[in-house]
């Protein structure tokens, strides 16, 4: 199996979740072994997608370099990973990736418009050999050996509209589109008000976020899935794990995980060289099915 990029340049304009300002985003193809690279056109700074470039995980995953930052990258990266894209240039004229509708389905549509292009170098993956776990105050995220790429997530909130939810997602591009991509980010009304008082969440609305008050869900259109909350956590986790730079052959398990714990997990994995190996993904070999059932290449 070969590395991938997109077949043509595509772009869109959207609103940033926290600053609430318009952002123009352009996606461009890159050659083999380039990786995912963000470029702040307003500052003239390239920021490779690397764990060492993560500068904040408080409300979203944020990368930065040379005084330039890019925030809320996880939804876009989640869809990029789902389509098996290894090399891509993401150009932004502001600090945030557009929030779209709070899910990643809009990015999936953009990638399908761009099409996929197979490159000349073999695709690589990180095969998990031993369990690696990060725990904090009863919350944990874990990677473990597995014959398939699985995300198993549980959340628990006291709110009556959420309570405890669990979902196990077996990775493929089609499964991602059907089960995960439409799940939106969510927040509680009290937290939304606090964020706005801090100058954050200014682009948030019922059009791009599930908002809950003490009584229940405030959005008139309700939920897209009955367990949309935990599915969105899986969407985030897929995006956060993509900072490893290649797909995982293994299982991801979490209870109440977060961007912060996901970041610590990726750092811990790469420091535990005995816990993984880097392998080529062969088009017809067992590793191809372990990594993902990929989206079809468009002509």
Nearest to 38 by CA among 199, 292, 242: 242
Residues 6+ apart with CB under 8 A from 193: none
Whether residue 19 contacts residue 96, with contact meaning beta carbons closer than 8 Å, is answered with yes
Cβ neighbours, 10 Å, residue 44: 9
Q: Which segments of 92-208 does DSSP mark as H helices, in order?
A: 105-114, 173-175, 189-197
Whether residue 257 contacts residue 141, with contact meaning beta carbons closer than 8 Å, is answered with yes
Identify the three-state secondary structure at position 184: coil
Q: How many angstroms separate the first and last alpha carbons of the chain?
A: 17
Q: What is the DSSP track for 19-47?
A: T--EEEEEEEE--TT--EEEEETTTTEEE
Taking 3-state DSSP, the helix, strand and coil percentages for the chain, each rounded to the nearest 5, stand at 25, 35, 40
Over the Cα atoms of the chain, what is R_g?
18
How many angstroms separate the CA atoms of 31 and 296, rounded? 19
Q: Show which residues are catalytic.
A: 259
């Amino acid at each position: 199996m070969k590395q991938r990029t997109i077949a043509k340049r595509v772009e869109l304009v959207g609103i940033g979740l926290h600053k609430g300002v318009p952002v123009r985003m352009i996606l461009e193809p890159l050659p083999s072994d380039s990786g995912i690279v963000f470029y702040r056109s307003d500052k003239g700074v390239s920021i490779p997608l690397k764990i060492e470039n993560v500068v904040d995980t408080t409300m979203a995953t944020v990368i930065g370099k040379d005084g330039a930052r890019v925030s809320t990258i996880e939804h876009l990266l989640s869809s990029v990973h789902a389509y098996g894209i290894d090399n891509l240039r993401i150009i932004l004229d502001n600090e945030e990736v557009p929030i779209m509708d709070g899910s990643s389905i809009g990015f999936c549509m953009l990638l399908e418009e761009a099409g996929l292009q197979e490159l000349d170098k073999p695709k690589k993956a990180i095969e998990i050999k031993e369990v690696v776990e990060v725990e904090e105050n009863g919350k944990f995220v874990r990677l473990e050996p597995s014959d398939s790429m699985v995300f198993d997530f549980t959340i628990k909130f006291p709110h009556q509209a959420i309570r405890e939810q669990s979902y196990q997602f077996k990775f493929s591009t089609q499964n991602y589109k059907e089960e995960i991509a439409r799940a939106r980010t969510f927040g509680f009304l009290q937290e939304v008000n606090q964020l706005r008082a801090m100058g954050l969440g200014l682009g948030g609305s019922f059009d791009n976020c599930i908002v809950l008050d003490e009584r229940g869900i405030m959005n008139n259109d309700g939920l897209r899935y009955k367990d949309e909350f935990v599915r969105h956590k899986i969407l985030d986790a897929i995006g956060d794990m993509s900072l490893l730079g290649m797909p995982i052959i293994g299982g991801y398990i979490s209870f109440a995980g977060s961007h912060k714990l996901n970041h610590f997990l990726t750092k811990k994995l790469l420091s535990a060289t005995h816990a993984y190996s880097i392998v080529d993904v062969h088009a017809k070999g067992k590793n191809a099915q372990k990594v993902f059932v990929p989206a079809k290449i468009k002509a």
